[in-house]
A and B are shown apart, each in its own frame.
Chain A
Amino acid sequence: MKDVASMAGVSLSTVSRVVNGSPPVDPELAAKVERAIELLGYRHNHTAGTLRRASGLSSTIGLIFDDVGNPFFAAIHRGVEEVARERSVVTFAGSSDADPERERELVEGVLGRRVDGLILVPTAHDHSYLKRDVAAGIGLVFVDRPPETIDADHVLTDNRGGARAAVEHLRAHGHERIAFVGPAPNGLYTAAERLAGYLDAVAEPLVVHDDVEPLLTGPDRPTALFTAQNLVTIEVLRTLHRLGLQDTVAHVGFDDIVLAGSIEPALTVVAQDALGLGRAAAELLFSRLDGFNGRARQVVLPTRVIERGSGELQASS
């Protein structure tokens, strides 16, 4: 800034006023300063400005989720970015790999870099350590899974309702022996909710947490499968195709997948709106940063069944 001042032949405070946009400066001087900035390639240092500015905002946020490489989380990321971009806010993105320790490191890492807020797909169960940061004005929003030990805004999919709808859909096509295939909840919110939705709607529960092949090749095969997560769905599809059962065993998956409409039979899914989750989370976060100070809010997005064929196979008697 000093270099800019000496080239423009003005005082340091004049440069500062031009750069920060207040208070107003004589247009002639302002033009000189702007020319010097252009020539010198001076760039206003955001972090330096941050520390001095009363608002204390850095226009950066942190986003932490399981894995940037999973299309579901990548879509959440895109949703967050679309909202943040309108405010010229940039995003740190990090993968916790569903490891609580790694999540904590990332949280500390982004907060140490003075983000204005944090959007978290939580893996750990205890986030009470963030109370102090929230009290100090850090925006905090949970997405996909709710917080457990801290009161914070959160955006969820109606996981339980979606799973229930999937099973009811299969029952409407004559299926009674419907297996749930998905990760064991182990405290994972979405897994527990989807399992609960399945249990709500099924007559005789048949739950598989690992390889589904023994069940499919066994004596009392289910006539339909509900797979509770995108990566599980892909694995099960491979198994069904390998065993040649794709036209025999009905299948509904939770989460849509690219090309799900192009396989045979096309895959019926319960789709959630991942982009919408990201967008809603960012909107909640920015409303906090804009000064909203009310109680924690919960936003629940609905799911929808997309019929494509695999979920409409009738139960063979």
Chain B
Amino acid sequence: METFTPRPTMKEVARMAGVSLATVSRVINGTADVRPDLAERVQEAVKLLGYRRDLTASTLRRADRQSASIGLIIEDVSNPFFSAVHRGVEDVARPRGVLTFVGSSDERPERERELAEAFSARGVDGLVIVPCARDQSYLLRDRQAGTGIVFVDRPPRFMAGDAVLSDNAGGSRAAVEHLIAHGHRRIAFLGDRLSVFTATERLRGYHEALRGERIPELERTELADSAAGEHAVRELLALPDPPTALFTGQNLITIGAIRALRALGRQRTVALVGFDDVVLGDLVQPGVTVVAQDPYALGRRAGELLFARDPEPRSVVLPTRLILRGSGEIPAV
């Protein structure tokens, strides 16, 4: 049975090392030179006692309020796209000794705000946010208080700020032009909720590609998960004049579309291009042609902007890349 031992204090370290409290503080915080033999005694005592520097306490005392932590708000920690963004942010923060709070907004504005408040209340030095609320001006107060803020995947609204985005419209245009080049004249767009910035941008790219080609628009939006995507594809293919090609505007919708096409036995006759790569996209038959973004790079660039702390808001747009694997090269019948 172990006895209760409270956290060792700096005082105990000082007593064991036989030095003053100020000396211990200097050694631990590295603020001033200490005689090597004294420093060694302090280090020894720290080790024996298992003393741990309390970063929250020093946060409060320091003028610069650096808590060495940041907060990351993404749509869903378990969506592979956002996991990769997370990893990118972490890889920039970690070498700086900064830890990352992470939370899922689940595309709910009030949840985004709650998380931002919760992270700020814990003294984070910065926030990286995939915004879903209609208005980010609630963050102005945090910025005035010195919190760095960077938006990723989507730009902020009602607030100027650094943002790192993919070229959503350009990537979508390229995808739809690719389908047109393979003879398709009936191309459906399947997209996420239009409250999501990336969904409207991708829809815009689809419209731009159709413009001038006299190709009718055929849209299904507000598809929030793979089941919704699967259902929408079944409906579209049951139309009297069904599409010969599909452009799916998000990874989960692409997964739903692949499942629907396979279930209907149409995967070799209906063309498909998806926005965002998907795991095993190279192994399904035919392989899935995608417009790939680089979510890891989005996260990294966001982290870099956060730590650079440039006073001028900057917008970084990363290119997308079309990966041909077969499904997007099926010709129109």
Contacts and interface: CB of A to CB of B under 8 A. Distances in A.
Nearest to A44: B121
B283 interface: yes
Interface residues of B, number: 60
A262 B103 contact: no
Place the interface of chain A in its size category.
Answer: 35 or more
Contact of B122 (A47, A94, A234): A47
Contacts of B119: 90
Interface stretch (B13-21, B177-185, B200-208, B255-263): B255-263
Contact of B78 (A75, A92, A257): A75
B173 interface: no
Interface in B1-31: 2-8
B52 A112 contact: yes
B278 interface: yes
Nearest to A94: B99
Contacts of B159: none
Contacts of A60: 101, 122
A264 interface: yes
A122 B104 CA distance: 24
B233 to A, nearest CB: 13
B56 A113 contact: yes
Contact of A259 (B86, B94, B279): B279
Contact of A88 (B86, B97, B118, B262): B118
A136 B279 contact: no
Contact of B56 (A50, A70, A106, A238): A50
Interface string A213-252: 0000000000000000000001001100100000000000
Contacts of B4: 135-136
Nearest to A267: B280
Contacts of A112: 52-55
Contacts of A241: 283
A264 B285 contact: yes
B60 A48 contact: yes
A106 B78 CA distance: 21
Contacts of A109: 68, 97, 99
Nearest to B114: A88
Contact of B83 (A48, A71, A92, A234): A71
Interface string B52-64: 1111110110000
Interface in B55-87: 55-57, 59-60, 67-69, 71, 76-80, 83-84, 86-87
11 contacts: A46-B121, A50-B56, A68-B87, A68-B90, A71-B83, A92-B100, A106-B99, A111-B52, A113-B69, A132-B8, A258-B80
Interface of A: 41, 43-48, 50-51, 58-60, 67-71, 74-75, 77-78, 81, 85, 88, 90-95, 106, 108-114, 129, 131-132, 135-136, 234, 237-238, 241, 257-264, 275
